[in-house]
Amino acid sequence: MSTFPKCVGTLCAVALALATAAARAGAADDAALRLAVAAERARAPAPRFPRSAFLVDRAIDSVSLSPDGRRLAWLRVQDGRRSVWLQSTAGGAPRQLLSQTDARQAYWSHDGRWLLLESPRQLFALAVDGQGGSGIVSTLGGRERREVRAVDPLRPAAAILLERLPDADAQGQPWRLLRVDMHGERTLLHRDAHRLAGFAFDPDGRLAFVERVEGDALAIHRVDAAGRLHEALRCTRLERCSPLPVTGAGGDLLLRSDRDGNLLRLARLDAHGTLHTLLADPAGEADLDTLALDPDSGQPLVAGWRSGTATDRGLTAAAQRAVEAIAQRFPRRMLDIQAGRGPQAPWLVGERGPTLQAARWHLYDPRSGRFRQVLDEGLRQQRSGKPLAPLPESALAPKIPVAWEASDGMRLHGFVLLPPGADPATRPLVVVPHGGPWNHDRPDYGSIAQFLVNRGYAVFQPQFRGSTGYGRDYVLAARGDFGNGRVQQDIVEGTRYLLAQGIGDARRVGIAGASFGGYATLLGVTFEPELFKVGVAIVPPPDFGLDLRWVSRSDEALNLSRYIPFEARLRMMSLDLDDVAAMARLHAQSPLANADRMTRPLLLIAGGADHRVAIRGVLGYAAQLKLLGRDVSLLVDAEAGHTNEDPLAKEAIFYLTERMLQRHLGGPAPDAPDALLRGYLERNLRLAGKDLRGE
């Protein structure tokens, strides 16, 4: 006799339907993966490229189309310097406007007469036609924590700034929203006791909405003619609500939001406080990622989603026709679309993808449907600064979307990259979890993954629960279980799923990652040594809970949680730093508390000036492993922060990773380091395990 309870009526039908749908989805996922793997196996093998071919910088940054579509502006990076360039979209040679700038972003004013250059210290207005006089619009940072929030979406030439007055000058209302013209003249738009997170103007340029941080909530208020506030929408429990800068028809607020739902979508808030969905991911899988706005009206024109694949959709009939033409020309690409003003103006289309080392830029004419490539971006070697041609796409690996069902039934996502022309079942597999953990991998180019694939490794990038991009439920599903628990189990189960699908040699699996990915690496070699034979952990916190406490007491907490206070955000993700039992459980499951269980070869890389992972924690963990007689290597760059932009340091990471994997997974031996790299290693390698001593 069956011991299972009887299935009754509607409940039975629903359960059966869900189980059937899950089974069909799983079968479709497996079939799609098999087809993609077969396509990679049928390709021609790629030649081996030198490390320097993957250690490159883009030569062009911050490419921007003028609102009228007549000009392109960009920042060129050369020999560590940045310059400002301009070119007509009608053709002709580009011209240099500034030979040197510390700007990191360039924006056009609404009227297209000015380029606004934003650096960490100032906002500078550059008169493109040489008329009107260039100069500093505003200082940034400083005691006022002043920051650029947007180019004014409607006024001809202005920017919107946010600042926080020092307490002595605040009079109980420290936060100020300002409109500043190109000559530095300021207009106070709003002053508030609460931090301001967003705003929207009506079509006449009047401030119509403000969004405030109120405790652990985001509250959107209408602003009446007298400047009084009237609450219109409140977003709690990490609901996302981001107003667009210009209101829609009838004064309704347009915003990105997942309130009353899961996926971030384009929505409209009407006068009665009702939220209406305008556009969501057609596949029902991903958060809204990009929005291209009409340069004239500020209304949304093109929406984009970036999950396992990249999808874009126009919000008007004309825009959709243009998007379809662009997608047909550049299939399976991540698109950066900027529209010119009016039906006669060209569009700027940037294309990115896993096999494109450098973005390509094109002008699209909506009238003729023609494309013309512009801006030969090119690359530069990081060590020498010499120009470098991008690697051919035929030699690089596409990112294959992969989905699997976790042991608790949740559908999870990731990417796999395979060496072309090889049987994936014979390839060593390297698992590369992303950092964050509140982050995700995109379907674009990644240097370390492509480098490893070029050396013959299959690469798995798991989007474990807690990852962003797949909706708020996906993030919250982690439920704070970031020790040797549910999140790490996602990574392990995803790895075993790939092995079961014939991807990777189960006897040769390694794990490598940075930041939270480094923490997942430590967990992997500690608790799953039969699966992971070697680990490379870059800036890893040995105890995630302890590191969160350390960060919460520093200014870095502001960078990690811009609006909702850091500790409040953690609480809503089931990581209450004041919950003694929860923190004790996280510590008990940490690599630090289980150092005696770590038996695999391990490389640790840390930065002495890291503000997100305490260097003393990494040093203490390495010392503990050394006392236990473990095979551990430690490289510490005393000048490096959480990320290390020094080209020599990046090459050291590539070289040491390749060497560790070669010794334990059977990949090819790395090219010998030159004198400069040897010198860097001698200065910074604090502990050398067996692999790095040559034993």
Residue 603 CB neighbour total at 10 angstroms: 26
One-letter identity of residue 99: S
Higher pLDDT, 486 or 26: 486
Q: What does the pLDDT read at residue 474?
A: 98
One-letter identity of residue 262: N
Q: What beta strand segments (E) does 193-261 contain?
A: 196-201, 207-214, 217-223, 229-235, 241-243, 253-257
Q: How many CA atoms lie within 13 A of 501 on its CB side?
A: 26
| pTM of this structure | 0.94
Q: Residue 456 has which token pair?
A: 């013959």
Backbone angles phi, psi at 500, to 5 degrees: -65, -25
CATH number for the domain that contains residue 30? 3.40.50.1820
Q: How many CA atoms lie within 13 A of 391 on its CB side?
A: 28
The pLDDT tens digits for 54-66 are 999 888 999 999 9
Assess if residue 457 is contained within a domain.
Answer: yes
What secondary structure, in 3-state letters, does 86-129 show? EEECCCCCCEEEEEEECCCEEEECCCCCEEEEECCCEEEEEECC
Q: What does the pLDDT read at residue 22?
A: 54
Q: What does the pLDDT read at residue 13?
A: 52
The pLDDT tens digits for 90-136 are 999 999 999 999 999 999 999 999 999 999 999 999 999 877 789 99
Q: How many CA atoms lie within 13 A of 125 on its CB side?
A: 27
The C-alpha atoms of residue 85 and residue 82 are separated, in whole angstroms, by 10
Higher pLDDT, 53 or 168: 53
Q: How many domains does the chain have?
A: 1
**Residue 555 contacts residue 612 (beta carbons within 8 Å):** no
Characterize 566-584 residue by residue with b for buried, 16 or more Cβ atoms within 10 angstroms of its Cβ, and e for exposed: bbebbbebebbbeeeebbe
Instruction: Report in angstroms the alpha-carbon separations of 643 from 32, 514, 559, 650.
Output: 36, 9, 14, 10
The C-alpha atoms of residue 491 and residue 52 are separated, in whole angstroms, by 30
Assess if residue 256 is contained within a domain.
Answer: no
Assess if residue 72 is contained within a domain.
Answer: no
Assess if residue 662 is contained within a domain.
Answer: yes
The C-alpha atoms of residue 504 and residue 72 are separated, in whole angstroms, by 46
**Residue 52 contacts residue 385 (beta carbons within 8 Å):** no
Q: Residue 306 has which token pair?
A: 């970036």
Q: What does the pLDDT read at residue 192?
A: 96
Q: What does the pLDDT read at residue 129?
A: 87
The pLDDT tens digits for 539-597 are 999 999 999 999 999 988 888 888 999 999 999 999 999 999 999 999 999 999 999 99
Helix ranges, 341-485 (H): 447-454, 472-476
Task: Using pLDDT thresholds of 50, 70 and 90, give the confidence band for residue 169.
Answer: low
**For residue 512, is pLDDT > 70?**
yes
Question: Mean per-residue pLDDT for 428-455?
Answer: 97
The C-alpha atoms of residue 76 and residue 80 are separated, in whole angstroms, by 10
One-letter identity of residue 688: A
The pLDDT tens digits for 340-354 are 999 899 999 999 999
Task: Using pLDDT thresholds of 50, 70 and 90, give the confidence band for residue 168.
Answer: low
What element of type H or E holds 414?
A: strand 411-417
Assess if residue 194 is contained within a domain.
Answer: no
pLDDT > 70: percent of the chain? 96
Residue 460 gets the label, from left (phi > 0), alpha (psi -120 to 50) or beta, of beta
Assess if residue 327 is contained within a domain.
Answer: no
Closest CA relative to residue 518, chosen from 635, 575, 435: 435
* Cis previous bond, 166, omega within 30: no
**For residue 384, is pLDDT > 90?**
no
The C-alpha atoms of residue 589 and residue 66 are separated, in whole angstroms, by 53
**For residue 18, is pLDDT > 80?**
no
**For residue 209, is pLDDT > 50?**
yes
Task: Using pLDDT thresholds of 50, 70 and 90, give the confidence band for residue 1.
Answer: very low
Question: Domain range holding 426?
Answer: 23-54+392-693
**For residue 5, is pLDDT > 70?**
no
DSSP string, 649-672: HHHHHHHHHHHHHHHHH--PPPPP
The C-alpha atoms of residue 530 and residue 532 are separated, in whole angstroms, by 6
Spacing of C-alpha 273 from chain mean position: 32
Torsion of CA 548, 554, 556, 559, to 10 degrees: 100
Assess if residue 146 is contained within a domain.
Answer: no
The pLDDT tens digits for 220-269 are 999 999 999 999 999 999 999 999 999 998 999 999 999 999 999 999 99
DSSP string, 438-465: S----SS--HHHHHHHHTT-EEEEEE-T
Q: Residue 315 has which token pair?
A: 């919000």
Assess if residue 375 is contained within a domain.
Answer: no
DSSP state of 424: G
Residue 256: CB partners within 8 Å, gap ≥ 6? 240, 241, 242, 244, 264, 265, 266, 267, 288, 291
**For residue 12, is pLDDT > 80?**
no
Question: Mean per-residue pLDDT for 310-327?
Answer: 96
Closest CA relative to residue 280, chosen from 268, 270, 294: 268
Helix ranges, 177-251 (H): none
Question: Mean per-residue pLDDT for 14-29?
Answer: 59
Instruction: Report in angstroms the alpha-carbon separations of 142 from 164, 366, 446, 532.
Output: 10, 45, 35, 47
Q: What does the pLDDT read at residue 78?
A: 82
Q: What does the pLDDT read at residue 2?
A: 38
The C-alpha atoms of residue 611 and residue 134 are separated, in whole angstroms, by 37
Q: Across all residues in the chain, what is the average pLDDT?
A: 93
Q: At how many degrees (to 10) do helices 544-552 and 615-627 cross?
A: 150
Backbone angles phi, psi at 329, to 5 degrees: -75, -35
Angle (nearest 5°) at CA 392 between 387 and 397: 125
Residue 407: CB partners within 8 Å, gap ≥ 6? 489, 493
**Residue 503 contacts residue 496 (beta carbons within 8 Å):** no
